[in-house]
Amino acid sequence: MTYDLQPPASHYVNGRYVEDTAGAVIEVIYPATGAVIAKLHEATEAVIEEAITSALAAQKAWAAMSGTERGRILRRAADIMRERNHDLSVLETHDTGKPLQETLVADATSGADALEYFGGLAASLTGEHIPLGDGNFAYTMREALGLCVGIGAWNYPTQIACWKGAPALACGNAMIFKPSETTPLSALKVAEILVEAGLPAGLFNVVQGTGKVGGPLVTDPRVNKVSLTGSVPTGRKVYAAAAEGMKHVTMELGGKSPLVIFDDADLDSAVSGAINGNFYSTGQVCSNGTRVFVQKGIKEAFLARLTERLKGAKMGDPLDESVNFGPMVSENQISIVERYVAKGQEEGARLVTGGKRLDQDGYWIEPTVFADVTDDMVIAREEIFGPVMCVLDFEDEAEVLARANDTEFGLAAGVFTADLTRAHRMVAGFEAGTCFINSYNDAPVEVPFGGSKMSGVGRENAKSAINHYSELKSVFVRLDACEAAF
Ligand code: TXE
pLDDT by residue (tens digit) across 274-302?
999 999 999 999 999 999 999 999 999 99
Q: Is 463 in the pocket of ligand 1 (CB under 6 A)?
A: no
Distance (angstroms) between ligand 1 centre and the Cα of 379 equals: 20
Residues marked active site are found at: 252
Q: Within a domain: residue 483?
A: no
Collapse the DSSP code of 229 into the 3-class scheme (helix H, G, I; strand E, B; otherwise coil) and give the result.
strand
Cβ 252 under 6 angstroms from ligand 1: yes
Cα 166 to middle of ligand 1, angstroms = 21
Do 246 and 265 sit in the same domain of this protein?
Answer: no
Ligand 1 pocket, residue 171 CB under 6 Å? no
Q: Which of 267, 290, 266, 264 lies closest to 277, judged by CA?
A: 290
Q: Is 218 in the pocket of ligand 1 (CB under 6 A)?
A: yes
CATH number at residue 395: 3.40.309.10
69 Cα–ligand 1 center, Å: 35
d(CA 277, CA 287): 8
Residue 452 DSSP one-character state: E
Distance between CA 3 and CA 86 in Å, rounded?
Answer: 11
Residue 478 is assigned to a structural domain of this protein = no
Low-confidence ranges of the chain (pLDDT < 50): none
**Cα separations in angstroms, 394 against 217, 388, 412, 423:** 46, 19, 19, 16
Does residue 22 lie within any of the structural domains? yes
227 and 364 together in one domain: no
Distance 177 CA to ligand 1 centre (A): 14
Q: Could you tell me if the CB of 254 is within 6 A of ligand 1?
A: yes
Q: Express each pLDDT in 50-66 by its tens digit.
A: 999 999 999 999 999 99
d(CA 157, CA 160): 5
pLDDT at site 13? 98
Residue at 164 is within a domain: yes
How far is Cα 351 from Cα 303, in angstroms, rounded to an integer? Answer: 11
Residue 1, pLDDT score: 61
- Is the domain of 198 the same as that of 271? no
Q: Which of 270, 161, 129 is CA-nearest to residue 278?
A: 270
**C-alpha dihedral sign at 429, 432, 435, 437:** negative
CB atoms within 10 A of CB 103: 30
CATH classification at residue 120: 3.40.605.10
Question: Is position 236 within any domain?
Answer: yes
* pTM score: 0.97
Q: How far is CA 40 from CA 20, 27, 426, in A?
A: 10, 6, 48
Identify whether residues 272 and 284 lie together within a single domain: yes
Same domain assignment for residues 401 and 322: yes
Both 388 and 272 in one domain: the answer is yes
Contacts of 169 (CB under 8 A, 6+ apart): 62, 70, 73, 74, 118, 175, 194, 199, 203, 204
Residue 5 lies in a domain: no
Q: Do residue 341 and residue 464 come from a single domain?
A: no
The answer to the question of residue 392 being in a domain is yes
Distances (CA, A) of 136 to 130, 132, 477, 478: 9, 5, 6, 5
Pocket flag, ligand 1, residue 237 (CB < 6 Å): yes
Residues 315 and 265 in one domain: yes
- Classify each residue of 40-67 as buried b or exposed e, where b means 16 or more C-beta atoms within 10 Å of its C-beta: bbbbbeebbebbbebbeebbeebbeeeb
State whether 432 and 460 are in the same domain.
no
Question: In this predicted structure, what is the pLDDT of residue 114?
Answer: 98
431 shares a domain with 370:
yes
Ligand 1: residue whose CA is nearest its atom 13: 211
pLDDT at 2: 78
Q: For helices 186-196 and 157-170, what crossing angle results, to 10°? A: 40
Domain that holds residue 272: 258-437
Q: Is 460 in the pocket of ligand 1 (CB under 6 A)?
A: no
Helices (H), 30-66: 45-64
Q: Is 247 in a helix, a strand, or coil?
A: coil
Examine the domain organization and report whether 187 and 41 are in the same domain: yes
446, exposed or middle or buried, with CB in 10 Å at 0-12, 13-18, 19+? exposed
In angstroms, what is the span from residue 354 Cα to ligand 1's centroid?
27
Give the distance between the most distant pair of CA atoms in the chain: 86
Shortest-distance atom of ligand 1 to CA 181: 19
Whether residue 188 is found in the same domain as residue 61: yes
What's residue 60's pLDDT? Answer: 98
Count of structural domains within the chain: 2
Asked, for residue 187, whether it belongs to a domain, the answer is yes
Nearest CA to ligand 1 atom 27: 230
Of residues 209, 275, 284, the one with CA closest to residue 47: 209
